[in-house]
């Protein structure tokens, strides 16, 4: 999850990382959950009817039944009521992301994706079919929704917004957490879930305790609009149902290396793809490390695919620009 403004409609945008573009490798990237809205496939469908039809077909085949029907209504009816339901948002996100990629099918040197976007990356890399990607993400949304009881505002995520130059933010957060645990002021789950950019760290767990930790670390906290503690140890409960789903779909080798969210390792072999999908349900997302990994490998052109990918593109630009001796690059989006 990232802090992001609401972006409506169809757009292609270029975010300059610096003054000039030099020849180099390219990477495709995909967003995670966070900016879904009813009817988000409508404008795309008008401009790319073939790819939209293929996406709807993959949705129907990969997620038959009431969940898939609800996702399809969400994508194609802007009057649909939506209560930030992750079992709808996650498959809707992947459907739009892969559909956007299919308008170009650019052969990139690497793929990466934020959180569930990692599964979209595996689809683009050929490790999963579109249909099976929908199946996996649909199950992921269901399992995560069921993993934590609905106790009002007890669970969720809080983003820490860090001022320029705050390079010690993670250390300050961990020191503050240790102090508060020792004093008994914090007793719930508080874990670093996302390293989104040099200026944004997301905590996950018990919301009030996450807020207390950020306040003690003197970092501004913004509660995200989710009631599920994504990328925390509370999500380990999804291990068994997700392992069963992954075992029942065809997972092959990736034709293009995909950056693993938690370790920033490059994943190709099918067994490693399965492991990355499973562990990605609860492990933290080191988006800074992911982007730096491909930048160090010579990537100078980034393209993001999917609805709401614009803010992810801004994060990529921030990360690349924050690197010492960073190379010239471009970042653009497609949806």
Which residue ranges form the domains of the chain, and what is each CATH number?
Answer: 14-148+232-334 (3.40.366.10), 155-223 (3.30.70.250)
Judge whether 231 counts as a catalytic residue.
yes
pLDDT per residue rounded down to tens, the chain (335 residues): 665 433 333 333 444 443 333 458 999 999 999 889 999 999 999 999 999 999 999 999 999 999 999 999 999 999 988 878 999 999 999 999 999 999 999 999 999 999 999 999 999 999 999 999 999 999 999 999 999 866 556 899 999 998 755 567 889 999 999 999 999 999 999 999 999 998 899 999 999 999 999 999 999 999 998 889 999 999 999 999 999 999 999 999 999 999 999 999 999 999 999 999 999 999 999 999 999 999 999 999 999 999 999 989 999 999 998 877 666 789 999 99
d(CA 38, CA 98): 18
Contact between 219 and 150 under an 8 Å Cβ cutoff? The reply is no
What count of other Cβ atoms lies within 10 Å of the Cβ of residue 130?
Answer: 23
Catalytic-labelled residue, pool 26, 87, 115, 330: 115
Q: Which of these, 224, 231, 247, 190, lies nearest to 311 by C-alpha position?
A: 224
d(CA 206, CA 187): 9
pTM above 0.85, yes or no: yes
What count of other Cβ atoms lies within 10 Å of the Cβ of residue 289?
Answer: 17
Catalytic-labelled residue, pool 231, 264, 317, 330: 231
> What does the DSSP assignment read for 145-187?
HHHS---TTSEEEEEEE--TT-TTHHHHHHHHHHHHHHHTS--
């Amino acid at each position: 999850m990232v802090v992001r403004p609401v972006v409506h409609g169809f757009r292609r945008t270029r975010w300059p990382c610096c003054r000039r573009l030099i020849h180099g490798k390219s990477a495709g990237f995909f967003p995670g959950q966070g900016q879904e809205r009813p009817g988000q496939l409508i404008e795309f469908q008008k401009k790319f009817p073939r790819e939209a039809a293929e996406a709807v077909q993959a949705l129907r085949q990969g997620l038959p039944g009431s969940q898939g029907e609800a996702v399809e209504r969400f994508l194609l009816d802007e009057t649909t009521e939506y209560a930030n339901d992750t079992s709808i948002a996650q498959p809707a996100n992947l459907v739009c992301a892969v559909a956007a990629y299919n308008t170009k099918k650019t052969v990139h040197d690497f793929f990466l994706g934020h959180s569930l976007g990692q599964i979209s990356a595996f689809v683009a890399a050929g490790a999963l079919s579109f249909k099976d990607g929908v199946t996996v993400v649909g199950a992921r949304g269901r399992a995560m929704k069921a993993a934590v009881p609905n106790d009002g505002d007890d669970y969720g995520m809080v983003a820490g917004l860090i001022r320029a130059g705050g390079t010690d933010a993670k250390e300050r957060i961990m020191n503050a957490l240790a102090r508060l645990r020792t004093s008994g002021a914090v007793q719930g789950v508080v874990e670093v879930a996302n390293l989104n950019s040099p200026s944004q760290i997301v905590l996950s767990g018990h919301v009030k305790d996450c807020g207390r930790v950020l306040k003690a670390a003197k970092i501004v906290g913004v509660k995200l609009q989710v009631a599920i503690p994504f990328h925390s140890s509370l999500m380990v409960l999804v291990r068994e149902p997700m392992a069963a789903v992954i075992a029942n779909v065809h997972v092959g080798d990736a034709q293009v290396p995909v950056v693993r969210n938690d370790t920033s390792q490059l994943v190709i072999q099918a067994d490693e793809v399965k492991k990355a999908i499973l562990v990605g349900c609860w492990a933290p997302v080191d988006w800074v490390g992911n982007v730096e990994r491909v930048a160090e490998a010579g990537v100078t052109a980034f393209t993001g695919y999917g609805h709401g990918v614009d803010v992810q593109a801004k994060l990529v630009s921030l990360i690349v620009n924050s690197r010492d001796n960073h190379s010239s690059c471009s970042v653009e989006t497609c949806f």
